[in-house]
Structure 1
Amino acid sequence: MKLLPIFLSFFCGILSLNAQNNIEVEITDFESDKGQAMIGLYNTENSFLKKEFKGKQLKIQDKKVMFTFADIPEGNYAIMVFHDEDKNNELTTNFLGIPKENYGASNNAPSKFGPPKWKDAKFEVKNGKTLKQKIMLN
């Protein structure tokens, strides 16, 4: 009977080490409900804007989108989203490569003379928490 409290304490400790996190994302400032929102979650600087860790196409309602990335392991992440008005599943740009569709990044990272930088967009999730990110489109 003396081992039961020790076992329970040990078991609960192991569960907390493997706790998964959630990232709640609210995206605002869509110009219309036309098209879809494309959202990508990135887990490394090298993959940022190249290969998503997780991604989703979302319906826009009342010029905003709410979405939760669930069961995310602890670590550093960044989010990129754009308004895919023409539903071609890619960010449409002009002949100079300047985006024609609105976009935004976690931490509302600035995009001066190019896309947002990982260092500005990254955030950390840990301890089995729910982290909230509010992204305003440019």
Structure 2
Amino acid sequence: MLLSLGLAASPSRAAELVIDIEDVGSQKGRLTAFVYDSAEGWDGGRPVVPLQRVYPDGGTRLQARFTGLAPGRYAVVVLHDTNANGRFDVSALGIPKDDYGFSNNPVLFGRPGFDRIAFELPADGARISVRMK
């Protein structure tokens, strides 16, 4: 399944970001891709562009596409709300019940900082892979 979100493109805002979402475990619920352009936005939960929702279609790979982005430094998080309750579920100990993935696919022991998951988006765009955990 492919979902695309276009923004008003101008010469300085013309890059495309394609996110290949891999290892989708459940075919229930919805996945949401968030794109952040700063540590402040990441820490404050303020994505730089509207989020995208992608729905499982029977496969283990999905794709989200953001167009019209300014070249620069970004970070991506994908959350899979498997029971479609509108929130990311965790246990009483804070262990995620829902699947998640980050750009750069870091090995995690807690929430990563922006610098750990950030990547450069050049003017001619980029394709990244996010593995769900």
TM-score interval w.r.t. the shorter chain?
Answer: 0.7 to 0.9
Contact residue 111 and residue 117 of structure 1 kept, 8 A: no
Q: Is 1:122 matched up with 2:122? A: no
Q: Equivalent pairs: percent with the same residue? A: 24
Contact residue 20 and residue 74 of structure 1 kept, 8 A: yes
Report runs of 4+ in structure 1 exceeding 3 Å deviation.
none
Contact residue 22 and residue 68 of structure 1 kept, 8 A: yes
Q: Is 1:133 matched up with 2:133? A: no
What pairs with 1:108-119 in structure 2 (closer than 5 Å)?
108-112=105-109, 114-119=110-115
TM-score (norm 1): 0.80
Deviation at 1:31, TM superposition (A): 1.2
Q: Is 1:32 matched up with 2:26? A: yes
The one-character-per-residue Cα deviations of 1:14-62 (angstroms, maximum 9, x if unpaired) are xx95251010000011112111101100111111151111211111121
Which one has a larger percent strand, Structure 1 or Structure 2?
2
Q: Which has the larger radius of gyration?
A: 1
Change (3 A) 1:87 1:75: same
Q: Is 1:101 matched up with 2:95? A: no
- Unaligned runs of 5+ residues in structure 1 are 1-15
Which one has a larger percent helix, Structure 1 or Structure 2?
1
Q: Is 1:63 matched up with 2:57? A: no
TM-score (norm 2): 0.83
Q: Is 1:82 matched up with 2:79? A: yes
